[in-house]
Structure 1
Amino acid sequence: MSLSLYSAAEFRKRAIAQTQTITADSWRDTGDAKLNPATIPHVEEMKLKDAAVLVAAIDEGEDARLIFTQRTATLRKHSGQIAFPGGAVDDEDHDVEAAAAREAEEEIGLDRRLVEPVGRLPDYMALSGFRITPVLAVVRPGFSLNLNPTEVADVFEVPLSFLMDPANHEMGSGVWLGSERHYYRMPYEGRNIWGITAGIVRVIYERLYA
């Protein structure tokens, strides 16, 4: 039987295939960078800190679900926003996959032994000062979560089929450093997925499903 287009097995296959095509310049041609080419020279001049986020697809049923968090309102950066679990890469992390899995375990209690990294996306160069590597992973179902209340206010799941439908990718704009900047947003059941997180989701669509 052929795999469902949005199953975790198909996500794994596509993640592996596209990871092999990533170059040092791939970030320029996808997602928010493609929407805002004028920001590229600015971000290239910045000294960026390395970070990683875990894009975790739950391996259950024919429509995998991605795990999202809502950050607490008290955090210094991106407070209250929807995000993938993740954070800064520490010296003891042997690679970005380890960093993403560690951060997910610290933030939401996701057992890293259940996390299977299957690929990466091009780095996301954030104007907030981070070089973010999205780590694509498949997660075995049946896990339990324990949220870190200082970082995470809530956690929820969104079907991959919803996120990979470009009809659900709305456009917004705002002013950054005196210039208009465009961004994606994907409202889902009263939650507003936007900014960096929606930009990463858009890159998943562009590189795996478009």
Structure 2
Amino acid sequence: PPHRRAAVLVPVVFRAGGPQLVLTQRAANLRDHSGQVALPGGKIDPADPGPADAALREAHEEIGLAPESVRLLGYLDPYLSGTGFLVTPVIGIVPDDAAFTPNPSEVADVFEVPLPVLMDRERYILEARVWQGRTRRYYALTFEDRLIWGVTAGILNNLRERLYPETSTHPAG
């Protein structure tokens, strides 16, 4: 079947201590991916002109981020999930005074991870699990008491590979 299209915002905010990436902890009552760490985003609706519009709309619905406050930088490579979604990551700069208001029906928490933590190649572990009769491989990493895995970790690893190709060194690792 054709892939279902989705988009996520990869929101970067610059703090005094350096750049941070904004992530969410999904609400425990959700049917899909409940309780998981995620980037704000979701399905691209027919009314969305494109992936960036969908990512901004979803970020507004999920964490109250005003779409007009985000400075879009571009796209990462699309990511195909094991559940059939073709996810387009959209990178954007979020103002440091942005207020995040989680929608409790979708998001349990909004938190930030220092970008150097996510750019550390040593943190990414390739794991495997049998799901629906097939072995699925996925990246996972931890930050404090949170497990970041699956599509989110895959997208973040793609960002890391884009910014710090394996042939170069980077400050975090």
Structure 1 and Structure 2 fold alike (TM over 0.5): yes
Partner residue of 2:91? 136
Contact 2:82 2:136 in 1 (8 A): no
Q: 1:89 aligns with which of 35, 40, 44?
A: 44
Q: 1:198 aligns with which of 148, 153, 162?
A: 153
Mapped pair 1:207 → 2:162: yes
Q: Which amino acid aligns with 1:93?
A: D
Q: Percent identity, aligned pairs only?
A: 46
Q: Which amino acid aligns with 2:23?
A: F
How far the C-alpha of 1:180 sits from its partner, in A, is 2.5
How far the C-alpha of 1:109 sits from its partner, in A, is 0.4
Partner residue of 2:129? 174
Quick check: 53-62 or 111-120, which moved more? 53-62
Contact 2:7 2:90 in 1 (8 A): yes
Alignment of 1:25-104 (within 5 A): 46-61=1-16, 63-104=18-59
- Look up the SS of the partner of 1:59 in the other structure: strand
Q: Which sections of structure 1, spanning at least 5 residues, go unmatched? A: 1-45
CA distance in 2, matches of 1:147, 1:62: 24
Q: Which amino acid aligns with 1:119?
A: G
Q: Which amino acid aligns with 2:158?
A: V
- Look up the SS of the partner of 2:32 in the other structure: coil
Partner residue of 2:116? 161
Q: TM-score, normalised by structure 2?
A: 0.90
Q: 2:75 aligns with which of 114, 120, 124?
A: 120
Partner residue of 2:169? none
Q: Which sections of structure 2, spanning at least 5 residues, go unmatched? A: 166-173
How far the C-alpha of 1:172 sits from its partner, in A, is 1.8
Q: Which amino acid aligns with 2:115?
A: L
Q: Which amino acid aligns with 2:47?
A: E
- Look up the SS of the partner of 2:71 in the other structure: strand
Kindly report the root-mean-square deviation, in angstroms, between the aligned alpha carbons of the 2 structures: 1.3
Higher strand share: 2
CA distance in 2, matches of 1:80, 1:203: 23
Partner residue of 2:100? 145
CA distance in 1, matches of 2:31, 2:11: 25
CA distance in 1, matches of 2:54, 2:132: 31
Q: Which amino acid aligns with 2:156?
A: V
How far the C-alpha of 1:107 sits from its partner, in A, is 0.4
- Look up the SS of the partner of 1:205 in the other structure: helix
CA distance in 2, matches of 1:87, 1:118: 19
Q: Which amino acid aligns with 1:47?
A: P
